[in-house]
Chains A and B, each alone.
Chain A
């Protein structure tokens, strides 16, 4: 079974899905990501689906599940790079991708996560542990 690599960039885990995933591969990615979020303490997950030429109900459900798992583990998930034809098909299929945040590309996804974290930590008393990226 193929496995999808997970890259750590700063405070973000980046998953770029480059293969036509079997269902098993999709489930393995879900589990691998949960482990990496806990192991790294990352607060953001970006899933790049630029290379996916379809998203069916199984992969759609996987994306929703990853978003839910991440949230429970204090990380925000953004799905980026969805092709227009994929978006059209998903809507017609009836998938709403509940709870999933999307952005057009990786760069915007990273901005979205950065804004989120800034909003979360605007009160310094909120979080006694200093953020590593807080001071330039």
Chain B
């Protein structure tokens, strides 16, 4: 599934309001700069984090985001975990389809975020909440 060694403690942010989504973006950017992601990769991972943190808020009813600087021995990277105890996703394949939305958005959040990162893992089931882990490696 995922690989790499944690460097230091993860930074955590609860997501309960749209101001918290702004805080998640800032936290992710700080770590992305620290692990020396290129400017384009910083932009991609912050954008992905913004989409997923908003999903945590809007669909998950709030939750937590953890950001960790990691290293797989060859290169550093950033790992972000988005966790909520909301309703979960019943049809994951459908939820990952471009343009599919149940929230009145553009339906690009989940599918778009997946395209912007190197690794994307999602654990979810109806009534079980959703846990998404993304990783972006420095090139």
Chain A residues in the interface with B (C-beta under 8 A): 20-24, 53-58, 60-61, 83-86, 88-89, 92-95
One of A22, A23, A57 near B108 (C-beta < 8 A): A57
B26 within 8 Å of A (CB atoms): yes
Contacts of A24 in B (CB 8 A): 18
Indicate if B138 sits at the interface (CB-CB under 8 A).
Answer: no
**Inter-subunit contact A54/B50 (CB<8 Å):** yes
Which residues of chain A are within 8 angstroms of B19 by Cβ–Cβ distance? 22
- CB pair B105 A85 closer than 8 Å: no
Q: How far is the CA of A8 from the CA of B25 in the complex (A)?
A: 31
Min CB distance, B81 to chain A, in Å?
A: 19
Complex contacts, B98 vs chain A, CB 8 Å: 94
Given A57-B112, A94-B98, A94-B111; A89-B43 close (CB under 8 Å):
yes
The secondary structure that dominates the A interface is helix
Q: How far is the CB of B25 from chain A (nearest CB, A)?
A: 6
- Identity of the chain B residue whose Cβ is nearest the Cβ of A21 in the assembled complex: B22
Interface residue ranges of B5-64 to A (CB < 8 Å): 18-19, 21-22, 25-26, 29, 39-40, 42-44, 46-47, 50-51, 54
Q: Could you list some 24 contacts between A and B, CB below 8 A?
A: A20-B22, A20-B25, A22-B18, A22-B19, A22-B21, A22-B22, A53-B43, A54-B50, A55-B47, A57-B51, A57-B105, A57-B108, A57-B109, A58-B50, A58-B54, A85-B40, A85-B43, A88-B43, A89-B40, A89-B43, A93-B47, A93-B115, A94-B111, A94-B115
Given known A-B contacts A53-B43, A86-B43, A93 and B29 have beta carbons under 8 A apart = no
Can you add 12 more A-B contacts, CB < 8 Å, to A54-B43, A95-B106? Answer: A20-B26, A22-B21, A23-B21, A54-B46, A57-B106, A58-B105, A83-B43, A89-B40, A93-B116, A94-B98, A94-B111, A95-B108
Within 8 Å CB of A94, what residues of B? 98, 108, 111-112, 115
Residue of A nearest to B17 (CB): A22
B43 contact set on A, CB distance < 8 A = 53-54, 83, 85-86, 88-89
Q: Are A54 and B25 in contact (CB under 8 A)?
A: yes
A86 contacts which chain B residues (CB < 8 A)? 43
Contacts known (A20-B26, A54-B43, A88-B40); A93 close to B108, Cβ less than 8 A: yes
